Amino acid sequence: RARRTATMTTLEDVVEGKDYNFPTEEQATLKYWKDTDAFREQLKRSEGRPEYVFYDGPPFATGLPHYGHILAGTIKDVVTRFACSTGHHVTRRFGWDCHGLPVEYEIDKKLEIKGKDDVMKMGIDVYNEECRSIVMRYSKEWEKTVTRTGRWIDFDNDYKTLDPTFMESVWWVFKTLWEKDLVYKGFKVMPYSTACNTPLSNFEAGLDYRDVSDPAVTVAFPIVGCELGASLVAWTTTPWTLPSNLALCVNPTFSYVYVKNPDGAVYVVAEARLSALPGATKKAKGGKPGALADGWAVVKKVVGEELRDVKYEPIFDFFAEEMRSTAFRVCVDSYVTDDSGTGIVHQAPAYGEDDNRVCLAHGIVVKGGALPDPVDVNGCFTDPVPAPFAGQHVKEADKDLIAAIKASGRLVDNARIVHSYPFCWRSHTPLIYKAVGSFFVKVESIKEKLLANNAKTRWVPSYVQEKRFHNWLEGAHDWSISRNRYWGTPIPVWASEDGEEVRVIGSIAELEEATGAKVTDIHRHFIDHLTIPDSRGPEFPPLRRVEDVFDCWFESGSMPYAQQHYPFENKDKFEKEIFPANFIAEGLDQTRGWFYTLMVLSTALFDKPAFTNLVCNGLVLAGDGKKMSKSLKNYPDPNEILDKYGADALRLYLINSPVVRAEPLRFKEEGVFSVLKDLFLPWYNAYRFLVQNVRRVENETGVAFNPRAPGQEPVNVLDRWIASSTSSLVTFVRTEMEGYRLYTVVPRLVSFIGQLTNVYVRYNRSRLKGKNGDDDTRRALAALYDVLLVLCKTMAPFTPFFAENMYQNLKRCLPDGGDSEPSVHFTSFPQPKQGALDERVEKSVARMQAVIETGRVIRERNNKPLKTPLRRLVVAHDDADFLSDLQGELRAYVVEELNVLEMETCLDPLKYATIKAEPNFAALGKRLGKAMGAVGKAVKGMSVADVQLFQRTGAFAVGDVTLGPEDILVKKEFALPEGVTAEEMDAATGEGEVMVIMDIVVDQGLLDSGSAREFVNRLQKLRKSSGLQATDAVEVFFEVKAAGEKDAAEGMMRMLESEKAYLRESLGCDPKPIAAMAGDARVVATGECSLSTGAEFVATLAALKI
């Protein structure tokens, strides 16, 4: 061993846990990373390794990052750090979503823009440059927060969807789809945002559903030429669509009735929906349809098919003349249901997907023909709808429309209904459904390929892939990818005025060649004026670009190609190395967003999934279970949490929660604090204990601590146990991380740290302090050092700051730097230590812990505090190896922790217990049904021999029913030995079927032993409060206070004499009366103390004379 010299390094001292400020230390680590350019250094060191490909979904920089972003960013950081530590090079580029409604909406608010006319007056160039000016508004705040959370990602080499290179690749994607005949221009009824003047895709419409109260009106449509003077009755929650009514629809198989009310009016409704007519039926009982009310009578009954083509009078005459030849008649279709309304559905083909389909099928309207649509882009009524409705927003016009219907005598009922309704995810205004022209991707034609490619990927958790995403793909419609907006990638389609010639441009070079103009930017205001000559000749007007821009979801779905400027650059590298991605991660809401668009475009382009592994997280909610809201201020600011508790605590809180299993998390600040208190502080204290004792050993011996020195292999059972447990942990973490199961990894890490601090350090405290001599101490310190170093490397992806801080000190012990790297994040993920795995010792120590925990339970319920020794402990179990270990190397730990004088073992638990069997009703109930009674009776009647045989074989037969280990619960019940009372002995069974029996009678000798422990405890507290270190030797003096109880004082003096050996070993000296202290002694500390016996004394600590 080398003598410590002035130049030899050792562990730096560290502060107490209560003084360790996690946020402050993290700031110091951030500075170290910045000063050493640690992230780029890691990338440089890993060059040449296999590439691990990660795609980062682009957020908008027009808003600030919230907990959802921090959560997803943490998951991404954990996985990519782990990939780097397992032999990969991991490029991590941040991305920005710069186009689309989120940006435009901010400018519309700022400039008070109400619609297209305002934009045209201003000029698209001015409008777009306003948009450009804010797209990176909060980019520095994003960079600050993301960096503060410990995430390593490249902001300097980021990608932006507004970059010409990115936009050019988006053009290539579109042109490729066009050439594959996977794009078409059509009209379709789609969700439409009147606030943003644009249609939304189906998945966007599903992002924000809210419960709202809407009018629910029932309206009469008089049948033309009906002898009964009957009216068809329809029900709708969108009165604003009634001015465009062109047809009614019934189910061809339903029974419909003509029913007369007491006033003589005759209405036609589905028989099953008579209750929809006010007053038509009596109150129903037990959920059954009520009988007709008095005065009401059915005068005719027909099936729906018989109502086909029956004509009726339109509710409004706005389109009566132009549509009378084909419209205002009854259609039949099976989409009509009888679970609500009247069984007759009003049809407005411009405002309903089914309405449009049904009216086309029945010739009410024709494809490409006139489609009554008196609603403008802002959602307001226009010609031919007259005042007072004209100019009103459709939702605001409902009230006036209902009044007009009532005035015409056609209103049968006017009510309200609370139902779930889609809102615009950006403007938070109600959507309407409206027929619009759009470019569509033919998703339906590649549905089978989408399903097949989804099956090739791995999602965590898997149910999101197998159910939610699979079902979404199953029901997927053609995807509308164009928006009649301004700030986005323009759709590269140039068309002639007559529509006969269309040209799709796939690159900037192609546009320059076609137009003869130099192009530097391809936003609308740079290219809308460019024309392409018509190939039919100069007599034809030139081709002009269509107005639309791409939906921003099309851009984000194109990011695998566009961030690489594929295929214009990086073509070979892209195709061979970086597509598809190994890993992506975002929130559950992206199943209908980014995950979907990635899958659609990669399938359409390459018939491959864009990714192979996906981690999907749930939503982070406020503590009350509601959505986090800035206006409600129902959640703490993320930056405040980071400044108060640190990033590591927040990271571990988030990824050790249900949210990593795609379930919701109610964010609670106290949860972050609990992580700090219950995990980080115990971990830190174990590390500090190592540092203290390494420094003590070096100071005492003058020999440097070398954890790699020969002859320090683990011999002690707990050294071998912690080494084995560490190897098991490393194997487990690697396996689970390779399966992307973060939700299993963190609980195991938390459990391991608990074992390290509560078992290894706690039980070995005296060894680590030098109780058994220098050789054993160094073995113990080497064992603890190895565990902490491996734990640093294992936890580095999860807690990058704390692992780095600890590693920077630990690596100082390695001889001449040894195999240490400058940063823990440059090190390889640990390998299981050769030969360290020992299943027997892990199992025996786990059972030993069960013995100790069970013994504590027995003490507690019998009011026997741990400071009071008990005479005897018996451990009963049928595993001879375990009992042998318990009586051997583990004995001292059990005896000390449970404070017992004797410990015995028993191989036959039935010496102290009876066993009986109980049926597991939870497992058997559904399976056995009526046979449960007989089987349960047989199980309860099992003899001891039957139960023991079942324990050995795992099977028990009752007639033709064979029961297995999960079907029968075997219970042990303590049986007092003959002649022993419950006041003298108690027992309990812990985990692993370990039975613990304890003598609980306490005599005077035992009480004195307990008092001695108390006496030592009081002096140790006095040492600590006076600032003494473990290595500081002192003399101990006492003075019994006269004011105390006489019996208690005498008892204390008796204890000091009878427990002299224990006190000398624990205190390092014999306690002496104060009168024995020399007059010139240097007093270090004095304190008043008391024992639970009532004895009171003054303790004095004096420095040893040299």
pLDDT class for 738, splitting at 50, 70, 90? very high
Is 948 one of the annotated active-site residues of the chain? Answer: no
Cβ of 728: how many Cβ atoms within 10 Å? 18
pLDDT computed for residue 8 by the predictor: 46
304 touches 332 (CB < 8 A): yes
CA 660 from chain center: how many Å? 3
For residue 3, is pLDDT > 80? Answer: no
Q: Looking at 59, 65, 96, 97, which residue is catalytic? A: 97
Q: Kindly name the residue from 121, 399, 626, 630 that is annotated as catalytic.
A: 630
Q: Quick one: CA torsion of 1062, 1064, 1067, 1068, rounded to 10 degrees? A: -140
pLDDT exceeds 90 at position 1086 = yes
What per-residue confidence (pLDDT) applies to 285? 66
> What's the pLDDT tens digit per position in 499-549?
889 999 999 999 999 999 999 999 999 999 999 999 988 889 999 999 999
Compute the average pLDDT of residues 1078-1100: 90
pLDDT (0 to 100) of residue 9: 53
Strand, coil or helix: 141: helix
* Contact by Cβ (8 Å): 224, 311: yes
- Residue 286: the pLDDT is 58
Q: Which residues pair with 95 in a beta bridge?
A: 159
Active site residue 630: yes
Say what the pLDDT of residue 288 is: 63
pLDDT of 801 over the 50 cut: yes
Q: Residue range 579-607: average pLDDT? A: 92
Amino acid 1: pLDDT: 40
Q: Looking at residue 480, what is its pLDDT?
A: 86
Give the mean pLDDT of 154-170: 93
Average pLDDT over residues 195-217: 83
Q: Exactly one of 42, 392, 563, 590 is catalytic; which is it?
A: 590
pLDDT at 984: 87
Q: What is the pLDDT of residue 722?
A: 92
Q: What is the DSSP letter of 316?
A: S
The catalytic position among 459, 594, 683, 721 is 594
Q: Are 232 and 273 in contact (CB under 8 A)?
A: no
**Confidence band of 633 (pLDDT split at 50, 70, 90):** confident
Q: Which residue has the higher pLDDT, 606 or 916?
A: 606
- pTM higher than 0.85 for the full model? no
Q: Are 967 and 924 in contact (CB under 8 A)?
A: yes
303: pLDDT confidence band, cut at 50, 70 and 90? very high
Among 56, 58, 240, 793, which one carries the catalytic annotation? 58
pLDDT by residue (tens digit) across 375-396? 998 899 999 999 899 999 999 9
- Across the strands, what pairs with 190? 434
Active-site residue, 263 included: no
Mean pLDDT across the stretch 137-164? 90
Distance CA 421, CA 212 (A): 7
Torsion of CA 384, 389, 395, 396, to 10 degrees: 160
Catalytic: 172? Answer: no
Residue 6 has pLDDT above 50, yes or no: no
442 flagged as catalytic:
no
For 36-84, what is each residue's pLDDT tens digit? 999 999 999 999 999 999 999 888 777 788 888 899 999 999 999 999 9
Using H for helix, E for strand and C for coil, what is the string for 589-626? HHHCCHHHHHHHHHHHHHCCCCECEEEEECCEECCCCC
What pLDDT shows up at residue 1094? 86
pLDDT band for position 817 (cuts 50, 70, 90):
low
d(CA 562, CA 171): 9
Rounded distance between C-alpha atoms, residue 145 and residue 954, angstroms: 56
391, 383 contact by CB (below 8 A): no
Q: How confident is the model at residue 833 (pLDDT cuts 50, 70, 90)?
A: confident
Place of tokens 């580095």: 796
- Please, is 415 exposed, middle or buried when counting C-beta atoms within 10 Å of its C-beta (0-12, 13-18, 19+)? exposed
Short-list 291, 263, 273, CA closest to 339? 273
Strands 297-303 and 255-260: antiparallel
Q: Quote the tokens at residue 453.
A: 């490619």
Note the pLDDT of residue 808.
93
The confidence score (pLDDT) of residue 1048 equals: 85
Report the Cα 880 to chain-centroid distance in Å: 45
β-pairing, 266-270 vs 230-236, is parallel
Mean pLDDT (the chain, rounded): 89
Contact, 607 vs 453, CB < 8 A? yes
